[in-house]
Structure 1
């Protein structure tokens, strides 16, 4: 299952530190709980959304890890109709995740550093 958060969330996790490149399946699984908020169907990100993204952020060790997670999230979000940038961009702040770059459907993953 691909999840929308590749991009919104994808991007927040990228700013952390930890281990080697995370598989897209893991990224999708960690971001899945954020779809309701990203589509505007839920008033705030669920605890599972924030927890999953914080765990994902904890796996980032290199810039390549950030870029990979970003790519996974951007591809995953395509599977969900109705994902809105205005909600995606709020997830890092609401979940207290420091990303270091704007979270958006339009984020250029290759420009992340």
Structure 2
């Protein structure tokens, strides 16, 4: 009976662990895919963000569940824009309003992602 009890506790603990592990965290790969179509606006080649850009960023904002998610997205975006020449703050800062996305921090190349709350 004692072994059965410990087996059940172990099984329940293991299932609980699996349930939490299976929840996918936001990855830079996901962020890159969702934000890729924003590059032409961020570099000034387009006059407004594309529908795909806004849709991708809206999907990212909907996936945010915690402050850590915000910080991860921020870090990924900062790393991602460094791959493209010509990305400018004056364009980046316009994306939230143009896409009707509410963000609680300034969108800038110089943002310190660790300060996001």
Q: Is TM-score (shorter-chain normalized) higher than 0.5?
A: yes
- Residue from 76, 79, 97 that aligns with 2:101: 97
- Residue from 71, 89, 93 that aligns with 1:85: 89
**What residue number does 2:116 align with?**
112
TM-score of the superposed pair, with normalisation by structure 1: 0.82
Tell me if 1:63 matches 2:67. Answer: yes
Tell me if 1:32 matches 2:50. Answer: no
**What residue number does 2:11 align with?**
none
Structure 2 residue matching 1:27: 3-state secondary structure: helix
Deviation at residue 101 of structure 1 after TM alignment = 1.0
Q: Structure 2: which 5+ runs fail to align?
A: 1-22
Q: Structure 1: which 5+ runs fail to align?
A: 1-18
Query: Higher helix share goes to which structure?
Result: 2
User: Which one has the largest radius of gyration?
Assistant: 2
Q: Which has the higher contact order (CA 8 A, sep 6+)?
A: 1
TM-score of the superposed pair, with normalisation by structure 2: 0.79
**What residue number does 2:57 align with?**
53
Segments of 4+ moved more than 6 angstroms: none
The answer as to whether partners of 1:35 and 1:83 remain within 8 angstroms in 2 is yes
